[in-house]
Amino acid sequence: HLGSEEQKQTWLPKMVSGEAVGAIGMTEPGAGSDLQGMKTRAEKDGDGYVISGQKTFITNGQHCDVIVLATKTDPNAGSKGMTLFTVDTSLPGFARGRNLEKMGHHAADTSELFFENVKVGADQILGGEGRGFANLMNELPRERLILALGAVAACEGMIERTIAYTQERQAFGQSISKFQNTRFVLADLHAQVQVNKAFCEQSIEQYDRGELSTTNASIAKLTTTELQGKVADQCLQLFGGYGYMQEYPISRDFVDARIQRIYGGTSEIMKEIIARDILGR
Ligand SMILES: Cc1cc2nc3c(=O)[nH]c(=O)nc-3n(C[C@H](O)[C@H](O)[C@H](O)COP(=O)(O)OP(=O)(O)OC[C@H]3O[C@@H](n4cnc5c(N)ncnc54)[C@H](O)[C@@H]3O)c2cc1C
């Protein structure tokens, strides 16, 4: 949405073919939810900019060829002092830190990234100088909707796996799917997932029409990811001790679900956004 024709031609075909991997660098050790507290600086230098700073928790950090990097171009201008850049990771001064060890999401890499006097041209600005915060606010609803859809899909997968397991597992002379508790837990979770799915489908239609509001994207992200945590916990319970074993996918579902309430904006930040809409600041 924000790229110049040149930026699009440089990166998008390679990203589609898989030759280039992208990352988004917002979070810093001292600034996550409070993005405006970020310290990474892009200082004007002749025709271009020099970037110095540090990011952390960056998905694809080990693999990325290009980073959409959030920087401060004017530290005194508040939200209007933030600018996004497309940074090529082959540039001198860029370094990758550790691949951080996480409790889940082991298939994804998450890293620290370092920028020491990385020189970039002014044509690497994405979406206008000083427009970084506004651009992030406009584009993050899409990310939140994607996370919500992932949550619904994960819930459906967990319920499907749990139905199969409880129909097979026997206790007290019958399959555990025959116990009223099992039936009520699964019926309740299924009902909640279907209601959340309907809201997500409505949100997709709004997104397609260019009408998805920040509030609705936050409602979708908040409710589906909280539900994912509940589904993971209650489904795992129905597996008994086997649910705690790594060879059973439900144990991976459980640890993978936990991050959903944190990244892409925490549940608390989603509630702040919704509250601001219905109550004002
Ligand atoms: C696996 C993983 C992948 C990630 N991928 C990326 C990525 O690709 N790019 C990227 O930029 N970032 C990424 N992140 C970072 C993620 O977005 C942040 O961790 C998240 O936004 C929270 O920031 P924080 O960790 O600094 O927590 P903090 O902001 O320090 O929050 C700590 C607690 O305080 C609460 N809190 C903060 N402010 C308020 C408030 N105003 N009201 C009420 N409660 C509040 C939070 O909700 C939370 O419970 C990733 C993180 C992880 C763990």
Cβ of residue 99 lying under 6 Å from some atom of ligand 1 = no
Asked if 69 and 87 touch (Cβ cutoff 8 Å), the reply is: yes
Per-residue pLDDT tens over the stretch 24-36: 999 999 999 999 9
pLDDT at 41: 98
Domain of residue 153: give its range. Answer: 134-279
Query: What CATH code is carried by the domain that includes residue 244?
Result: 1.20.140.10
Does residue 45 sit in the same domain as residue 169? no
Asked if 163 and 197 touch (Cβ cutoff 8 Å), the reply is: no
Tokens (6 digits) for 121: 């041209």
* Ligand 1 mean position, distance from CA 269 (Å): 9
* Ligand 1 mean position, distance from CA 76 (Å): 24
For residues 3-26, average pLDDT: 97
Does residue 41 sit in the same domain as residue 73? yes
pLDDT at 185: 98
Please confirm, yes or no, whether 247 is among the known catalytic residues.
no
Per-residue pLDDT tens over the stretch 112-171: 999 999 999 999 999 999 999 999 999 999 999 999 999 999 999 999 999 999 999 999
pLDDT at 215: 97
Per-residue pLDDT tens over the stretch 37-63: 999 999 999 999 999 999 999 999 999
Percent of the residues in the chain that have a pLDDT greater than 90, as a whole number: 99
What is each CA distance from 79 to 22, 44, 76, 151, 267, in whole angstroms?
A: 24, 18, 9, 31, 22
pLDDT at 144: 97
Cβ of residue 26 lying under 6 Å from some atom of ligand 1 = yes
Does residue 34 sit in the same domain as residue 91? yes
pLDDT at 157: 98
Task: Tell me what the pLDDT averaged over the chain comes to.
Answer: 97
Is the pLDDT score of 281 beyond 90? Answer: no
Does residue 142 sit in the same domain as residue 267? yes
Does residue 142 sit in the same domain as residue 272? yes
Does residue 74 sit in the same domain as residue 110? yes
Cβ of residue 272 lying under 6 Å from some atom of ligand 1 = yes
Counting atoms of ligand 1 from 1, which one is nearest the CA of 34? 29
Of 122, 111, 138, 100, the C-alpha closest to 48 is: 122
Domain count for the chain:
2
Does residue 123 sit in the same domain as residue 170? no
